[in-house]
Amino acid sequence: MLNIGVLVSGSGTNLQAIIDAIEAKRLDAKIAVVISNKPDAFALTRAEKHGIDTRVIVKDAFPDRETFDAELVRVLNEHKVELVALAGFLRILTPVFTRAFPMRIMNIHPSLLPSFTGLDVQRKAIEYGVKFSGCTVHFVDEGLDTGPIIMQAVVPVTANDTTETLAKRILEEEHKIYPEAIRLYAEGKFKILGRRVLSAESGTVEASLENPPIKK
């Protein structure tokens, strides 16, 4: 069974989606530890409710980012974590961390990468005027949101969308694809060719979409 460590900073709805997938036996994995850099993150309450070990590691307790990251690595190794899932973890990781878990760190990002990296990306998507946004599960490398893409979901942007309405619809898709991407990993259902993460499972992707829709 795959041992996962989840890193959080906030509300933890993606953490909840992973917990739910495990409890529903859609995902054969165990969350060994949830680590937050924010003591008041609601994600910690969610984890505790499900009997998951939690740790709070606050950056201010360390002289620099490298020693903070080394402590994260130490705690994850202590829990024998094989895959690290970043779920709304609001810190950029240094090579001390990324090199400790090469191709073993995943992140969920609320845009269709490589468009709109960084923060506040639902607002950036609306202001740019894209007709589709969505979310991406990707491996984490040393860049900002640049690692190989595992899975994406598309969400249309409508004329009436606000940052909040778009973020809410994207979040619903995040909760579907994050546990699914972890399942593919846990079951060894993809191979990696350079930047391309190729699913070994068969299935048909829905036909292409147009937005605004073409009148029939």
Which residues of this chain interact with ligand GRF, rule CB under 6 A? 10-14, 43, 87-88, 108-110, 171, 174
Distance CA 139, CA 182 (A): 11
| Residue nearer to ligand GRF on the CB measure, 3 or 9 | 9
Q: Which is nearer to ligand GRF, 34 or 87 (CB)?
A: 87
In angstroms, rounded to a whole number, what is the distance separating the alpha carbons of residues 139 and 148? 5
Write the burial class of residue 41 (CB in 10 Å: 0-12 exposed, 13-18 middle, 19+ buried).
buried
Give 79 or 169: the residue with its C-beta nearer to ligand GRF: 169
* Active site members: 109
Q: How far is the CB of 89 from ligand GRF (least distance, A)?
A: 7
- CA 57 vs CA 2, 18, 22, 54, 108: distances in Å: 23, 22, 25, 10, 21
Q: How far is the CB of 110 from ligand GRF (least distance, A)?
A: 4
By beta-carbon proximity to ligand GRF, the closer residue of 3 and 13 is 13
- What is the Cα–Cα distance from 107 to 50, expressed in whole angstroms? 22
CB of 17 to ligand GRF, least distance (A): 8
Cα–Cα distance, 140 to 114 (Å, whole number):
13
Cα separation of the two ends of the chain: 49
Place of tokens 């899975």: 151
Q: Which two tokens stand for residue 3?
A: 């041992």
Least Å distance, CB 193 to ligand GRF, is: 26
Bridge partners (DSSP) of residue 192 are 197
